[in-house]
């Protein structure tokens, strides 16, 4: 078992074995942050779905009202007018065959990839590189689109993609420790609302089974998945 530092053990002692209201949980997580950098606050939703069935995979994207508090590096696969639009919208790198070759050679210094539909035949050849890293453009997440300028602006302003993992859990960032609790609450509510909108019709019973928030270096704090979460929507 991994040995925890005394500081971390002290943090854990401050977390009670109960569900906290959203505001209370986020306030506690902020107070537990001890790192010498602005930690990210993350949330994990365990959903009542079975991801082994394609019709129960929860996937989508949402623009958080207060952003993420960090710069996002965006590449766009496009040609012609769409390439110029992406550049004007603030994309970090825009290209076609040259960008494909650059990534195939090992360059991976970006966080999000966007592509026009006509480029996907070529981009698909990078599936073994982009897929495992969660960087493959996908129409379901809005990263395969003719409106590349709009997609770039959304990503830069705090767009978050979410998808259930094999255990039916959605992991996503909510912002930074330096954010006000109100800002984190608003981002939490926006993400939760998006998850409910993405609820599969085949999912039965309790949909949001548990919620845990934490900072990059801090312990998890359980959020009351009943009334506390409902109030945040």
**Could you report the per-residue pLDDT of 33-83, keeping only the tens digit for each?**
888 999 999 999 999 999 999 999 999 989 999 999 988 999 999 999 999
List the CATH code of the domain at 74-156: 3.40.50.790
- Give 13's Cβ-side CA count (13 Å radius): 7
Please answer whether residues 31 and 223 qualify as being in contact, where contact means their C-beta atoms are separated by less than 8 angstroms.
no
Q: Just give the CATH number of 17-68+160-232.
A: 3.30.190.20
| Residues forming a β-bridge with 93 | 75
Give the integer Cα–Cα distance in Å for 22 and 24. 5
CB atoms within 10 A of CB 110: 17
pTM of the model: 0.80
Nearest to 29 by CA among 40, 18, 37: 40
139-166, pLDDT tens digit by residue? 988 899 999 999 999 999 988 989 999 9
Instruction: Kindly list the domain boundaries of the chain, sorted by start residue.
Output: 17-68+160-232, 74-156
Are 26 and 213 contacting, i.e. CB atoms less than 8 angstroms apart?
Answer: yes
Backbone angles phi, psi at 95, to 5 degrees: -170, -175
pLDDT of residue 5: 65
pLDDT score recorded for residue 195: 96
Q: Do domains 17-68+160-232 and 74-156 have the same CATH topology?
A: no
What average pLDDT score do residues 15-23 get?
92
d(CA 123, CA 70): 27
d(CA 57, CA 109): 29
Q: At what angle do helices 22-32 and 181-197 cross, to 10 degrees?
A: 130
Structural element, H or E, at residue 46: strand 40-47
């Amino acid at each position: 078992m991994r040995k925890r530092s005394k500081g971390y053990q002290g943090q854990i002692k401050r977390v009670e074995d109960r569900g906290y209201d959203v505001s209370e949980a986020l306030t506690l997580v902020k107070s537990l942050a001890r790192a010498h950098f602005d930690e990210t606050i993350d949330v994990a939703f365990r959903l009542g779905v079975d991801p082994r069935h394609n019709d129960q995979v929860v996937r989508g994207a949402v623009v958080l009202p207060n952003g993420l508090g960090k710069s996002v590096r965006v590449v766009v696969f496009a040609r012609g007018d769409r390439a110029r639009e992406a550049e004007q919208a603030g994309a970090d790198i825009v290209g076609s065959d040259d960008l494909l070759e650059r990534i195939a050679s090992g360059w991976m210094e970006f966080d999000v990839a966007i592509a026009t539909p006509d480029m996907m035949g070529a981009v698909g050849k990078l599936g073994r590189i982009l897929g495992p890293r969660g960087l493959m453009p996908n129409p379901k997440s809005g990263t395969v689109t003719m409106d590349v300028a709009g997609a770039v602006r959304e990503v830069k302003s705090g767009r978050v993609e979410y998808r259930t993992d094999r255990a039916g859990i959605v992991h996503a960032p909510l912002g930074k420790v330096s954010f006000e609790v109100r800002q984190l609450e608003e981002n939490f509510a926006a993400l939760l609302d998006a998850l409910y909108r993405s609820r599969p019709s085949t999912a039965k019973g309790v949909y949001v089974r548990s919620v845990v928030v934490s900072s990059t270096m801090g312990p998890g704090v359980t959020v009351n998945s009943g009334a506390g979460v409902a109030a945040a929507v």
